């Protein structure tokens, strides 16, 4: 799967703010957008259909994590929406990941079913939290690689990972296993609450297959220019 455009994180509270932002782009511009929990819980499936009507590619980022049966049924519902990407937590285990895949395949009616990405360790988890709260005694990177391989071995298509982890996952899981990277900032920009940030170019050089970019584009004074700059830098790094 080649993703040649930044995936824009639509971290807005409602459809009004979402479309006020999207309407800044030309109507014939193809976009790849990410809908997360806040916007989906607020606007539901209707919003996904509206975005699809515009011809956008969609990443529905709901990070599902439950017993296998429950995740399978939830994934069947997501599969019916015919989005391009969705997420689960690798911490749910091998049986849950297999069930997620099964669920998506049951729901999707196209021959290009929704690809599932696993969250390994959230980028908000620190080495100290891993040791003291999860009682995991291996370095964070090792846990990330372990989850990435577990996901790959159970039919999952890729992971969400920091730019720093992308190269490591590339070496362990190969090019085709998707590595989608958030925490992207342009040089000299405010990093906000992100701890480990990277430029689009550097992420591409680290073998990321796709970028998730939120505030660098959504909060920019000139949205179109910011989008073009991120895209240009991303393609330059490839
Ligand atoms: O505004 P910013 O570019 O930091 O937004 C990043 C987006 O990527 C947000 O939607 C955030 O939820 C998401 N994300 C992340 N780190 C992860 C997984 C997802 O920042 N590990």
CA-proximal residue: ligand 1, atom 3 (nearest): 214
Is any ligand 1 atom within 6 A of the Cβ of residue 212? yes
**Looking at the annotation, which residues are catalytic?**
63
Residue nearest atom 13 in ligand 1 by C-alpha distance: 182
CATH level 3 topology of 7-237:
TIM Barrel (3.20.20)
Query: Is 142's pLDDT higher than 90?
Result: yes
pLDDT at 178: 98
pLDDT for 86-103, tens place per residue?
Answer: 999 999 999 999 999 999
| Ligand 1 within 6 A of CB of 36 | yes
What is the Å distance from ligand 1's center to 156 Cα?
20
Ligand 1, atom 21, residue with closest C-alpha: 123
Domain ranges in the chain are: 7-237
172, two tokens: 């362990």
Rounded Cα distance between 12 and 20, Å, is 10
At 186-202, the pLDDT tens digits run 887 877 777 768 999 99
Does any ligand 1 atom lie closer than 6 A to the CB of residue 158?
A: no
Sign of CA dihedral 61, 194, 124, 148: positive
CA–CA separation, 164 and 1 (whole Å): 21
Mean pLDDT of the region 25-40 = 97
**Residue position matching structure tokens 């993703």:** 3
Which pLDDT does position 112 carry in this prediction? Answer: 92
Predicted local distance difference test score (pLDDT) of residue 115:
98
Bridge partners for 179 per DSSP:
159
Residue labelled with tokens 């370095």: 139
Atom of ligand 1 nearest to the CA of 184: 3
> Which pTM does this prediction carry?
0.95
Q: Does the pLDDT at position 8 exceed 80?
A: yes
């Amino acid at each position: 799967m080649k993703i040649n455009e930044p995936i824009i994180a639509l971290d807005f509270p409602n459809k009004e703010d979402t479309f006020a932002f999207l309407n800044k782009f030309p109507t014939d511009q193809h976009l790849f957008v990410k809908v997360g929990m806040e916007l989906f819980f607020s606007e539901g499936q209707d919003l996904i259909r509206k975005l699809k009507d515009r011809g956008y590619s969609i990443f529905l980022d709901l990070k599902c994590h439950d017993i296998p049966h429950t995740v399978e049924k939830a994934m069947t519902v997501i599969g019916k929406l015919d989005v391009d990407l969705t997420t689960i937590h690798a911490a749910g285990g091998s049986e849950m990941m297999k069930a997620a895949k099964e669920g998506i395949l049951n729901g999707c009616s196209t021959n290009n079913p929704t690809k599932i990405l696993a969250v390994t360790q959230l980028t908000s988890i620190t080495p100290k939290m891993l040791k003291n709260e999860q009682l995991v005694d291996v370095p964070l990177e090792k846990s990330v690689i372990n989850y990435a391989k577990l996901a790959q071995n159970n039919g999952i298509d890729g992971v969400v990972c920091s730019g720093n982890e992308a190269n490591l996952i590339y070496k362990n899981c190969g090019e085709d296993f998707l590595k989608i990277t958030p925490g992207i900032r342009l040089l000299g920009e405010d990093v906000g609450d992100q701890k480990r940030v990277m430029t689009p170019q550097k992420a591409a050089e680290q073998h990321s297959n796709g970028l998730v970019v939120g505030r660098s584009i959504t909060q920019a004074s000139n949205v179109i220019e910011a989008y073009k700059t991120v895209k240009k830098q991303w393609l330059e790094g490839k």
